[in-house]
A and B are shown apart, each in its own frame.
Chain A
Amino acid sequence: MLTIPFTAIRNSAVRRSLIVLAVAAASSLPMALPAHAQNVETGQKAFKQQCGLCHDTAAGKNRVGPSLFGVIGRKSGAVDGFHYSDANKNSGLTWDQATLDKYLSDPRGTVPGTTMTYAGVKNDDQRRDIIAYLATLH
């Protein structure tokens, strides 16, 4: 009868755990890494179609909506020369991947009283791509 020493079992269990952790980490890696080129390119196209009519990407160029240059890391309602709704000014949000994702999925639901007359980007992938593109604007 083959007997496996306890230390070996423990080592093999540890090894298995490490493998499981490595696979889990690898599968979640794309979420943590910066957006890859394809996402940004797709996001730029989606941005143009979904947002480009109202928002410019050049610094200081406001249209019906504020310029989205440098939006990542910016506090809501903070673009100079743009008149925001009180709702947007007082939302207390700082635009990062998570807050943008929430806002873009349902602007009026996330910031009640916003005057942005846009229903939101309902497609998760498209929203992620748009945010990946916005992250390049700095």
Chain B
Amino acid sequence: MGPRIAARAALIAVAAIAVTGSWTASAAAQTQQAHDIPQSFKVAHEETLAELTAIGKRRTHTGQIARQAISAVKRHFQREEEYILPPLTLAPAIALGRVTPDMKWAIAMADRIKADRETIFVEHTVITEWMNELAAAAERAHEADVIAFARGAVADSLNDTEVNEPMAIVIGEYLRAKLGP
């Protein structure tokens, strides 16, 4: 399974390069400026990486799988922090009815999420495959904490697919409707 997941990860990398290559200069310029992400996600990402790193330090099969899985998780978190999660920082203000022209940067990010939707989805499937492998090894080794970690990670993946990514797109569309293209 490991090599298969690695091959899939390589495909994603190629797809990401292709997408980046076709990205227009103006849109890239708008998203190049780094934007913050909601604090709850910062904490969640830090904790997930810390936990996976700690599992990776074990001299067990689960440790070996965790060390392999971490690059896929980091790559996905980088993508999320670059342009998926920043629009969500605007949600509280928008919910209060405040829309200002300086929020326009989120429109380009939302467009980028839409363009990359399938690549993002495949990244989630790669993480699911790693978590399946991690949980199966953890079950054989009776490592309940690792199983709990894997369960949490797949729940986070579903949360991204069900809520966070669509919400970021909705924010972008709302801003476009209010502020113009």
Contact = CB atoms under 8 A, between A and B. Distances in A.
Given A117-B158, A118-B129, 13 more contacts: A48-B136, A49-B136, A50-B132, A53-B135, A53-B151, A54-B128, A63-B151, A64-B154, A108-B121, A118-B125, A118-B128, A119-B8, A119-B126
B161 A49 contact: no
15 contacts: A48-B139, A49-B136, A52-B135, A53-B150, A53-B151, A64-B155, A115-B158, A115-B162, A117-B121, A117-B128, A118-B125, A118-B129, A119-B122, A119-B125, A119-B128
B15 to A, nearest CB: 14
B79 to A, nearest CB: 15
B107 interface: no
A117 B157 contact: yes
A117 B132 contact: no
Nearest to B158: A64
Interface majority SS (helix, strand, loop, mixed), chain A: loop
Contact of A53 (B8, B122, B125, B131): B131
Nearest to B118: A108
B125 A115 contact: no
A77 to B, nearest CB: 14
Interface string A101-121: 000000010000001011100
A50 B135 CA distance: 10
B154 A117 contact: yes
